[in-house]
Amino acid sequence: MYSLKLTKNYVPLLSQRETEKAIKLVKDGFQQVFSKALGLERISAPVMVRAGSGLNDDLNGIERPVRFDVPQAGFEVEIVHSLAKWKRMALREYGFKSGEGLYADMNAIRRDDSLDNLHSVYVDQWDWEKVIEREERTCEFLKNTVRKIAKAIAETKEQINALYTALEEKLCSDVVFITSEELLRKYPNKTAKEREYEITKEHRTVFVQNIGGKLSDGTRHDGRAPDYDDWKLNGDLLFWHSSLGEPLEISSMGIRVDAQSLLGQLKEANALSRLEYEYHKGIMSGTLPFTIGGGIGQSRLCMLMLEKLHIGEVQVSVWPEQMLRECKAAGVPLL
């Protein structure tokens, strides 16, 4: 079953043709501001990786990758879920030094994602990764990076509003930081998503830290694969999305695992068998660089910038027939 939220009196502020033009302006404009702020250069990235290589993003560990055989190559491949692991290896292979980084257009298929206003089986995001020093594996370094990204998003929104005067929403670039454990203590009787709703509604722009490990009540704020983010040095960047009346997660990011945190998180996830993969061996041996990285949703950013109610207004995907009918009747034009 899908989930759909429709609000009364929703009217798109831009026509479909205006929206298509604005999507390009958002993406082009943000890339320029974002890459300059973090010192990143664009590189080409794979749509698929070899099955069994250990390079695909395992997400929560239950999602099934789209897999198919390549007869002339003699093996199977998987459509990527994200480039979380591939990027770190690319930094080494391409010779990136400390303080240098990359970003890439990532196009994925997540067949098991829920279908709703914010989720599609088609995922497009900017995957980015940057080489850092061991001494920079700190909470303060993470926070400073988050602030740069939030500022780049707010600046891009100002540029788009100036071009399309029908758009009036302003974004807050001042980020409130809170750990998942602090959030649990603040709202002990609410679910993780309800806690995110309350904190983001209050503060507008929030970074929820420390996602993946168990909280004091034995639950997890959200799932995270154990082998890319350090669960003590990561988080999600949320903006309040007024059109939808909900928090919008724009970026999941973090300082990546070192040998110690990788081993501990693999033990907790009962996934020590992954140490046989090249990527994991590179971390344990120290031949892969220390990095920080994440993903920034392209369609979600366009939703936020163009004040859209449904992600299908800014990307072409597939939707249940009933959802298409309901959106059409409510005046929500899906591409």
Q: Which residues are catalytic?
A: 57, 110, 125, 236, 249, 252
Alpha-carbon 254 to chain mean position: 11
The tokens describing 220, both together, are 């997890």
CA–CA separation, 117 and 308 (whole Å): 10
Rounded Cα–Cα distance for residues 278 and 134 (Å): 21
Per-position DSSP letters for 31-74, written without gaps between them: HHHHHHHHTEEE----SEEETTSS-S--TTS-PPPPEEEETTTT
**CB-count exposure of residue 234 (10 Å: 0-12, 13-18, 19+):** buried
Q: Kindly tell me the sign of the dihedral angle through the C-alpha atoms of 121, 40, 250, 177.
A: positive
Query: What 3-state class would DSSP assign to 250?
Result: strand
Q: How far is CA 218 from the centre of its chain?
A: 25
Residues recorded for the chain: 335
Q: Do the beta carbons of residue 318 and residue 334 sit within 8 Å?
A: no
Q: CA separation (Å) from 277 to 52, 217, 271?
A: 9, 33, 12
Q: Which residues of 84-122 are buried (b: 16+ CB within 10 A; e: fewer)?
A: bbbbbbbbeeeebeeeebbbbbbebbbeebebebbebbb
